[in-house]
Structure 1
């Protein structure tokens, strides 16, 4: 489902209630795996697959604004996508997030 008021590329990812404070939720948006995070009332979205190995970040441990991969403990900054420690050296994509009513929308075009 898209929202015409947001413009092209925006797709509904989840309801606000689907992402509790301090938690991460894995969703599918446009056939892509996406991890949604809520930290201190702010929502963030990244690609849900670790850049090191094929593991879902949404199954990892969220510590502030860092997500730890459940497979080899690589850590990523959810605001920038940057790898914070090895074994990951490459970033994960970060997606823009908007709220419309009680719904979370993201744009699968990675943020700059």
Structure 2
């Protein structure tokens, strides 16, 4: 499958230090603004399937609201237990004020 990008938001919708769940095809993706740079990872915790968009963002780490697992939103890495599996990562492009996320 060729990489395709979907418009998911505009820059004014996502100020630095914020995050939101977006849909890219059938996938629910967490879009995050860390100090003006945009990152996208899977929105589902790899430990307990909690929606990370309901958790807390601290710098470049998001905390799952269910058991407190932490993930790096830049790399998808599981930083603290109980999660030990990384999140899927998606490429992000900004064109003017439009934010696009890849389908893989």
TM range (shorter): over 0.9
- Scaled by the length of structure 1, the TM-score of the pair is 0.87
Residue 40 of structure 1: how far off its partner (Å): 0.8
Conservation of the 8 A alpha-carbon contact between 2:15 and 2:36:
no
- Partner residue of 2:42? 47
- Partner residue of 1:72? 67
What does the per-residue CA deviation read over 1:21-60, in whole Å, with 9 as the maximum and x for residues that have no partner?
1011111111210111111111110011010011111111
- From 33, 39, 58, give the equivalent of 1:38: 33
CA distance in 2, matches of 1:23, 1:65: 10
Q: Which runs of 5+ in 2 are unaligned?
A: none
- Partner residue of 1:4? none
Matching of residue 93 in structure 1 with residue 88 in structure 2? yes
CA distance in 2, matches of 1:32, 1:8: 14
Aligned residue pairs total 103
CA distance in 2, matches of 1:83, 1:33: 18
Q: Any runs of at least 4 consecutive aligned residues in structure 1 with deviations exceeding 3 A, and if so which?
A: none
Q: Which runs of 5+ in 1 are unaligned?
A: 1-6
Residue 100 of structure 2 aligns to a residue whose secondary structure is: strand
The Cα RMSD (Å) is 1.3
